[in-house]
Structure 1
Amino acid sequence: MELPLETYAGPVEPDWCPGCGDFGVLKAIKMAAGRLGVAPKDLVIVSGIGCSSNLPGFIHTYGVHSLHGRAVAVASGIKLGNHDLKVVITGGDGDGYGIGVGHFIHAMRRNLDLTYVVMDNEIYGLTTGQASPTTMRDIRTKSTPRGCAETPINPLMLAVSSGATYIARGFSGEPNHMAELIAGGIAHRGFALIDVFSPCVTYNKVNTYPWFKQRVYKLEQDKGYDPHNVHQVLERAMEWGDRIPIGLFYKADQPTYEDSEPALKIGPLAHQPLGLDGTTFDAFVEEFY
């Protein structure tokens, strides 16, 4: 049963700059959860540090505002502790693709059942405008006054090569389309990445709403595109310039990390009794002492 957006309305209003792309992402997450009928008590949103990482405070669900770059690690623990919960990670390109990239890669490799929504504004917004891991070459920022000399990370290519089983890209200027992608990621069993073009209206004067609107097109418009064909996925993931694809890039059904853990087959760890009964304790002593 679908739930209305008001179900997820929190008491705190977002403090983002007017026009920030993160407003669209917040709405899309609410829409996605509502379409799937996920109750607030069954949804956990985990974030790191950054403008976008304030999102858990603006939505009525369980939430954890963790350390810089550690959101994926915290979310992994939550999912393994209670795999009945839907766990969504939110953060920015700096938090996820910079300091947190190690956790990001290994969570994809394990195919943990997590949904990661990255608000990619190609800049460090909270610290007022430095180059981030996705800043395009030659772009001038506070930390690169002569132009960025580094090649930007390609999150989609990284996700394909690391083992993510649901890979999508959205745009804050298309919230309904983005909501469909996020809903698909939450419903998918396995690691889902939704990289979102979320313009920073204050510090990124290049990758703006008009800039993206002139370039993005939806993969769904290409009837010949197959999200199960890795070769096609890689080709579209590399596409950048005058035309930039958004939509579902890749989807595969593979066993999750949770499927390989015998202890989880009994039920969520959070619902299992703590401690050992006498018989089990005696068996441990006999085996290991």
Structure 2
Amino acid sequence: MNEIRPSQPTATNPPRFDDEIDLVDLALALWRRKWFVVSVTLAVVVLAALYAFARGEAVKATAFASIYSLPKTIDQRGDDRYVIEPGAVMQVTQRVFVPKSLKMDREANPPEESRELEVKLDQPEDTALVVLETEATEAEADRVEALHESITDRIAGLVESEVEELRGRLDRRIEMLETRLDNTESLAESLAQTGGDLAEISLEISKVKADLLSAELEKSSLKGGRLVELGQQRDLENGVSSALIIALGAILGLFAGLFAALMANFIAAARERLHGESQAED
């Protein structure tokens, strides 16, 4: 008796659709149009290089910095202190000195002939420095230096007036303490002759001498401000470098060339198919 087996379905190949992408055909199509890709890539790279070099020659970003150091002195406790607070100097400079100096610069360099400059102020934390910075080109170096010099001269004038005022107060204090010391010592001599108690007088003399020494030390440590740098030039890192522009142009050109080659291949295939269909209809 023959055993009846269920029929097995015959293996069939999966259907192939015409719109599927064959990577091998795609690679061959791009290879056939390799010179087209190379041409487009080179064209974009040349354009990027021309832009980068023209941009680099025309606008080279630089900055000019000037630094002024504010004076310090020693107080009665032996600690350092500012003769004039940096915050006060920054406010006066921002509101008065910079506008006045910029006005003088505009009068010497009219806006219709030269561009207007700007001055940025900074006071690094825990320092006695006032920093002026202006972005300009190398051709404007002398102009920026004159502008910064005008501002720092005004700062120096403000600082010098504060130094002189403090020196005057210290001179008057030293004179007063010296007079007080002389009077106290005379009193001590009188008491010594009469056999009086010198304990309190000796204590007073010691205190006056200590105050006098402190005032003399503060006066000797009192110095004016100083200009550390004037118009120091440095290159800015702002913007995209020329090398990066060219590299980006090469990448963009390669993708543009590949896309153009694929579009050209697609158009050629579409024309061939339309031509075949028209012949079949005929």
Question: Given the two structures, how large is their TM-score scaled by the length of structure 1?
Answer: 0.19
Higher helix share: 2
Structure having the higher Rg: 2
Question: Given the two structures, how large is their TM-score scaled by the length of structure 2?
Answer: 0.19
RCO greater where, 1 or 2, for CA within 8 Å and sep 6 or more? 2
